[in-house]
Chains A and B, each alone.
Chain A
Amino acid sequence: MNQKENFLKGIFKENPLFVSVLGMCPSLAVTTTLENAIGMGIAVFFVLVLSNLIISLLMSSEKLRQLVKPVRIPVYIVIIASLVTIVEMVMHAYLYSLYVSLGVFIPLIVVNCIILGRAEAFASSNKPLDSVVDGLGMASGYTLGIMLIAFVREILGQGTLTFWGSAQLDLHFLFDFLKIQPLDMFTKPVGAFVTFGFLLATILAISNRKQAKAAERRAEK
């Protein structure tokens, strides 16, 4: 597998959010605005890439590997928790409004199944460079996924799109033009579940169709 495939599998084939359905809690909770989703994505990027790098470096030395193997999960958790603590402190100092709106979900990156999952399934048995690329791919897949959910929820719920801070796109004219109102429901938990459910179903429908076509092609041959 070359690096490009390694990177792209995180976005399409093994997308952590829509294919493996991991890391659901933050993806439902922080997707009320696009800005929150981007902030969460950045935090996950930092933690996932660095934890993959550190863990693969740790496990690539044979001696340390033998030592760590029986207690590897606690070791992974401590590494991840340290990285999350760094993210939390940096966000508290420099991005205070984001820190407040993400709230408890920043420390909860520790228990995001994606990060521990990649550590165990990929980084522990692959080279450091491959693990970093895998981390980048997975984090991109995750970030794009939550951005997609946030995109739908913010437009339908508030009629705006907040990219970062005051960089906001106001789409109320569109609603006025169509003579409808943004639905408050989409900013509530209900909206999160509905949006995710329908997006997941759409993606499943597309992949089912692709599989059926591939099977047809094989049958023709």
Chain B
Amino acid sequence: MNDLISLAFSAFIIENIILTQFLGICPFLGVSKKKSSALGMGMAVIFVIIMSSTITWVLYQYVLVTLKIEYLRTIIFILVIAALVQMVEIFLKKISPALYKALGIYLPLITTNCAVLGVAILNINNGYNFIEMLVYSTFISLGFLFVMYIFAMIREKLDYAPIPKAFRGTPIALIVAALLAMIFARFGGII
């Protein structure tokens, strides 16, 4: 139990997916201009990561390993993720057209969001069992939402800040991300 708690904590904060593992930077910079869209993207990512991690883990352990075709994992995983994202897209279009509109181009891009494939592969590389895999993927995606939301709050304020012309847009966002990363790096001493 203790192990699971420390795994959850380190997935959420210490090994934060965006700020220390550099996965999912594109949506992090792209969809973080407004809190509402950051929230929507974060939710979509949580849903997709948990579903895809479970499916890919089961597929890997029971199909790929038994058939001894582990080397096909990249291809199989990305196909599973692409199919899942399509489903989420159809789902959102029906349930919340406003959110669908806000996320726009970035929703199909979850397929090419490295966080999703990255977590699926990390689950295998780190040799997690089923429970650990579930805890890890849940908390790592919660960490994604958490950092996305904080970042979106800062960026909303940045719109009113007097920023030198060359730094406007992505450069200042990256520097804000650096400051956040500095804060998150200090959490490493807790465990």
| Contact call A108/B118, Cβ cutoff below 8 A | yes
> CA of A201 to CA of B178 in the docked complex: distance in angstroms?
14
- A175-204 CB contact bits vs B (8 Å, 1 = yes)? 000000000000011111110111011101
A58 contacts the other chain (CB 8 A) = no
Q: Which of A29, A107, A111 has its CB near the most chain B CB atoms (within 10 A)?
A: A111
A188 to B22, CA, bound (A): 11
The proximity string for A residues 105-117 relative to B, scoring 1 for CB distances below 8 Å and 0 otherwise, is 0011011110010
Quick one: which of B26, B166, B185 contacts A24, CB cutoff 8 A?
B26
Q: How far is the CA of A192 from the CA of B72 in the complex (A)?
A: 32
For the side of the interface on B, what is the size category? 35 or more
A183, B2: Cα distance in complex, Å: 36
User: Using an 8 Å CB-CB cutoff, how does the interface string of B163-190 with A read, 1 for contact, 0 for none?
Assistant: 0111101111111011001100100000
Q: Could you tell me the distance between the alpha carbons of A199 and B141 in the complex, rounded to whole angstroms?
A: 30
- Given A73-B82, A110-B117, A197-B178, check contact A208 B165 (CB 8 Å): yes
How far, in angstroms, from A93 to B167 measured CA to CA in the complex? 43
Q: Which of A77, A191, A196 meets B79, CB within 8 Å?
A: A77
Q: Scan residues 38-63 of chain B and give those whose CB is less than 8 A from a CB of chain A.
A: none
Closest Cβ neighbor of B120 among chain A residues: A107
Contact of B166 among A77, A89, A205 (CB under 8 A): A205
Chain A's nearest CB lies how many Å from the CB of B175? 4
| A107–B121 touching, CB < 8 Å | yes
Q: In the complex, A88→B122 CA distance in Å?
A: 15
Within 8 A of A (CB), among B101-135: 109, 111-114, 116-118, 121-122, 125
Is B175 a contact of A78 with CB atoms below 8 Å?
no
Q: Which of B21, B29, B125, B173 contacts A29 (CB 8 A)?
A: B21
User: B125-164: which have CB < 8 Å to A?
Assistant: 125, 164
Partner of A189, one of B29, B74, B116, B185: B185
A209 to B172, CA, bound (A): 19
Tell me whether B99 is interfacial, beta carbon within 8 Å. Answer: no
Complex CA–CA separation, A78 to B82 (angstroms): 11
Smallest Cβ distance from A154 to chain B, in angstroms? Answer: 17
CB distance from B53 to the nearest CB of A (A): 14
Query: Do the beta carbons of A81 and B113 come within 8 Å of each other?
Result: no
Q: How far is A73 from B112 in the complex, measured between Cα atoms in Å? A: 11
Complex interface: chain B residues within 8 A of A190 (CB): 178, 181-182, 185
Residue A101 at the B interface, CB < 8 A?
no
Closest to B171 in A: A201
CB contacts under 8 Å to B, within A100-142, are 103-104, 107-108, 110-113, 116
A78-B79, A107-B121, A202-B166 known; A193 vs B174 contact (CB < 8 Å): yes
Q: Does A42 count as interface, using CB distance less than 8 angstroms? A: no
For the complex of A and B, list the 7 residue pairs with the smallest distance between their C-beta atoms, beginning with the closest: A197-B174, A193-B178, A205-B166, A201-B171, A29-B22, A24-B25, A81-B75
In the complex, 9 of the A-B residue pairs with CB atoms within 8 angstroms, ordered by the A residue number, are A25-B26, A26-B114, A103-B125, A104-B121, A104-B125, A107-B73, A111-B78, A198-B171, A204-B171
Residues of B within 8 A of A (CB): 19-26, 29, 71-75, 78-79, 82, 109, 111-114, 116-118, 121-122, 125, 164-167, 169-175, 177-178, 181-182, 185
Residues of A within 8 A of B (CB): 21-22, 24-26, 28-29, 73-74, 77-78, 81-82, 84-85, 88-89, 103-104, 107-108, 110-113, 116, 188-194, 196-198, 200-202, 204-205, 208
